[in-house]
Structure formats: structure tokens, C-alpha cells
Structure 1
């Protein structure tokens, strides 16, 4: 078991950690490794030159808001319905320049009205009503990067199930749902004080129970194997893919989680590669925070990340 931490420590750490990884990676999203190396040096992205978060953290915060607005003892359907409405509110922040008059909650926050490279499937799925079955062939990582709050809020089994259902609001491919569910389940196990190894192993066992989850299970197996052989570093995650699709983004983050408990080193490795660096960084930051708490995050990064006050307020509510 990991060191004794309060629920609040883990929730705050996960939400702030996700924002930190997101901001680190957003600096180089879409850049190839050779360009990153030329810009930041062979050690990779070791500096937060910009504190801006992307759509990954935006949607994660709206996931939190949806869960908070559901009835505490409500059914899974109630939670999915509230998260759906929250995502539709997020979509409006990507369409309007500023909060409309009378906006409440996150929709009243002007800084969230910045369009930060939102995923095509997220936008199109919400445009089409955010109903299960949209984008049936899409398994982009947009389902995973927003799903940590399910693990912060529910037990592992329920976290998997509701995250999987909510992924279908924008991405209809089964692997997208399985990867979002697996991520939420790992977070939930970490919230219970399980070690990263046990959290990932339990989730892999759960995935093996369904044939439509095999791609996610195989990706996590590859991450587990790589972590045991290659310490995380700049571009060492390349064998796992670039993170654009759900199971690859999750695998890259899990590889770094299992490969090192040095949060700074792991976050640097998770974003220093060709591909969807902000998503892989955000996912790993969520995992590290749930595992080791807020105090484990590099202070100079955690203190300056965009939206910190709002994220902290949401963490207080979710932890309560």
C-alpha cells in the first residue's frame, strides 16, 4: 500500500496533476520528437514555459461538474445524464467568445472559453446530441483524458461502468469505452491506496473478461512489459504509439506510472514524444496525483498552472 493520504490529498493531486501534465504537453502537442529535442534539449520537456491547459483539462472539469450535479445516491443513468449536460455546456464554451449573460458554474468562467485544439470526435459527437452510438468508428483518446473524475468519485467497478457509458456520448468504438473505463478503474484503485502495480494488474484482469476490451488489455500489457525493461525517459514510449487513440494514450501514461515514482521524471517522459503529448501528460498527472497526492507534484508547476483556483474549489467539493 502507498503512504497514508487523505481523500482530499488524492483528489486535489489528481485534478491539479492532470492540469500540470496537460500544460506541459500542450506546449509541444503535434510536434515531432526531433523538433521537441531541438527546442527543449535532449532531456525533453523539463520546463513549463506556458501554463495554459488544453481541452483535456477543460473537459475533465466539466466531468467533475456533471458528477457534482447528480444526486449523491442517484442511479448510473442520472450520473450519465448530468455528465452529458455538462459536456454540452463545454461545447458552448468552444462556440462562444465569452460567457452568455446568466451563465452559472463552469460556464461562467471566461478563461474556459478558449478553444485549445478540441478533438474532432468530441465536437461532432456533442453537436449530434451526445447520444450513445455517435461516431461508431472513433476511438480517439478524447474519452480517456476526461475520465479521471469517475475514479475519484466511485468505487472501481462503478467507475469503469459509468466512464465506459459516458465515453459513448462522443466515441462509439468499444475500445474507446474500455480505455476510458480502465483509466477510471485504475484511478479508483489508487484512491483506495493500492500501489500502481496492483491497480493496473486488477484493471487488466477486469479487461480480460470481455472480448471487446482486448485492444485495451493488450495495450496495458505492452506498457507493463516496457516499464519492466526500459526506464521512462524522452521518447522511450515510442513503441507504444503516439497517443492519438484511446488505448495508446492510456498505455503511455501507465508505462510512465509503472516505470518511475519520480513524478517530475515521469511527467517529462510522458510528454516528450511525437504525438498527443498533452493527453498523455494529463492522464499520467491524474494517475500520479491519485497515487501520491498533491504534495508529490513539482511545486513550481502545480502552483502556476492555469485555473488552479477553480480546480482547487472543484476538488474540495468532489472530495467532500
Structure 2
């Protein structure tokens, strides 16, 4: 039987932050590395145009629950240099990039957590990485090419007259944050998102609109949780539910009052993710017991 390393990190270890500058394809890659180095690795993948800073409020909490939290900035995002061949429009390239990061850190098995394009990358990893993944948690994403929401676009018409991309990002982000979030937090999330590079963001969204790993879902071997926010205007929750049903050990979760950014909106994010992973651990143990 496979034994998974899942320890309770001390508060000191949980607050330990290591920063790595890796060299991948002749480019400097920035990675945050939280918690006990011997704990269960948890790869956290950010959304389109953003960076690992989206996990700033939850990384230490996840580490305190027994994870080594690996938070890379994707190429051209945050403190990672742009990709050698220009902005990435294929989310599969990001998935391979994530595996290269883990390889350079000497990490084999891991939990994957991602949101939006990070959620699509997580599903891609579940398809391509096989037994390396302990559990996959994909938020605000499905396996099929993403599409725009007419309701969301109508909500954004409030700022259509402005030529500022920053304003469009600000108001567009506010529109897809859930109703459970107070206005101060909604404003903070939107202001932080205004740091994006428009060219990189648009390239990410091209990837969002063209990435499709639907045919690989039946072959996913790890427990997989597909998560949708009830107030998320950018995704089709029913389509995500169907994706979960196509995965042998897939589970669908609908989060009331939450929008497109659970890791930035949920006050109990670390606790909830930990519960999902522990349920995955139980599924693995039960499967292995049945096979032994």
C-alpha cells in the first residue's frame, strides 16, 4: 500500500517561506515554497494574467495543515520572465512547465490545485501526469474550451466607454466576485488584479478558449474535485458537473456565494481544500485495500 506523507506542520514550519529562482528554457522562474519540506507537496496555480500572489492569504494556512505549498509564477507572470518564444497560448505548455518546476525541486507525487486557467491546467495535469498526482482540485474551469458569458459581458458594460485596460480589469474582476464577499474585499481583489500584463492576459484567454482535454477525462486515475462558484459568471456549472461525472473518481462541488476566485474569496479555503484532499486520501486507501 502506498503511504502518503501528510503531517501536521508546526506553526514555525508553516510560516517558513523559501523562494526559488529556477532556470527553465533559459528564463528565470520564480517559485514560492511554503512549509515543511517533507510534507505533502501541493502545487497552487494562479489565474489568467495574474501570479502566485493570489495565494498570499492561504499558502501559510495550507502549510499549517501539513502541505509543502509550491506556488510558481507562470511564464510572463509576476516575477517569472516571459517565455522564450513569446506569450503562451497553449495551456498544455503551462502544464508541462509546472511539471518541470516540480522536477527541478525534486518533487515526484503532488496535489494540484488551480483556478480558472489554473483549473484547466490542473485538469490537464490530471490527464497527463497519471500516478504522480495524489489529488486534483480544479476550480472555476472545465475540460472543454471556455466561452464568454453574455450575462458577464452585460455586467461589464458599465465601463465599456473607458479606454483604460486597468479599469476594464478592475470592473470585470468586481463583476465575477461572489455575493458573499464584502465590498472592501471585493475592491482589494480587483485592485490586485490590475497588475496584469494585457498581452499575457489575452494570450492566456486564447488558451482558455482553445484548450480541450475532454477525451482524456475517463483515463484520469486520481481523485478529482471540480469546483464551481455559484456566483461565477464566467463558467457553466452544469458543464463542469458533467466533466466530474466523466472522471472515474470525480466529484463536483458548488460553492454558494462564491465567484470566480475561491482562494481569494473564501475565509475557510485552506480548511476546505484539506478536507477535499483527506477525502481523496481515503479513496486511495479504500481502492488499494480492495486490490490487495
When normalised by structure 2's length, the TM-score is 0.27
Which structure has the highest strand share of the two?
Answer: 2
Higher relative contact order (CA 8 A, sep 6+): 1
Which structure has the highest helix share of the two?
Answer: 1
